[in-house]
Structure 1
């Protein structure tokens, strides 16, 4: 079954963008996934095709109107009724690999891309729209964030990556950051590949990789480590954690 991505946006020419290249582009050509874009402005009902208005209560910027968005979302749902509808907004729930995998396992996703100051809040309850954030940053619009969501989903679709196990050990798949990688040359600017990786002992290599994944997660992402290990990570003094390289 083809995974269907539907994008509601004021800038449909931004798609497929980078998703038209590399693995995602090849998968699009092979119809492993498909892309529909919906111009939000087509659902405005005045002669100026107005999609936004000033914030209630005053303030800077403009807000996307709930009535226009609702008509666009209703249209998208008639095209793909089984697809969840998500909106890209910094006020949303942070995107996780677990949520990406759930989306990739479904028939597709409809993504609403915001602009200006964001969405009229009533659209989320009025049309059962899930809010998703890709990070603690503010972007000019939801299109770049939508590309992130779609790229993360597409690479998990059957037939996209070369080997079925290609993504199993990558960052976040098992709750940890991925272990570090090395390749030739064996020595570069006085830095060498860890000896264990040249040993040919697969059991030792696997153990080293697991250890490094744990070390890097604990040092770089204590929030992930806490969830993974169930142990709260906090120094007694509250001082910044060190970055000692424990790769031996």
Structure 2
């Protein structure tokens, strides 16, 4: 028997979600457990030690965001929120309380499996520091602070370069507007999203094949950005 690719805990009170996800996770090679409420979910996290937790926010006994806070007191693995709540404030609060990713219901199983795969990469521990990173036709030499696209040098002002390297450090995870603004412009500019929008637009113009439909510097509406390599 093949070893499972990972242990996935699904905390959701909707039976149809479990009926949908269970066979899909089995077919993809994952081992999975089910929890129908927050208390049971926290118990399973503590006793089963899953590699990834998929958490619904609308649980019958407590709000999923409270489960996030309680889980983060003892669990440092990936927590992926699965929810029908589509308000920007809900998403941002979930990230601030410890979520690593957020998938809206209804969702495609292909997208969810891709997010799980990415979460497991993060779970595998710190990766060796890379001096060179590539995506599309772009290459970034982090030692030399040198960027090329299709072999041609790309000049990036300090803020744009700092933003690019922060996105790279996210390793595919979504980074919130606040996270990026504080990292690049400092705490005094945590709410100055216009700075971020302009800088992201400039990076896309210089690095994307089609800046109007970016394939790598990707927007997570209402939340932030991620770098897809």
TM-score relative to the length of structure 2: 0.37
TM-score relative to the length of structure 1: 0.35
- Structure ranking higher in strand proportion: 2
Between 1 and 2, higher relative CO (CA 8 Å, sep ≥ 6) is seen in 1
Q: Which of the pair has more CA radius of gyration? A: 1
- Structure ranking higher in helix proportion: 2
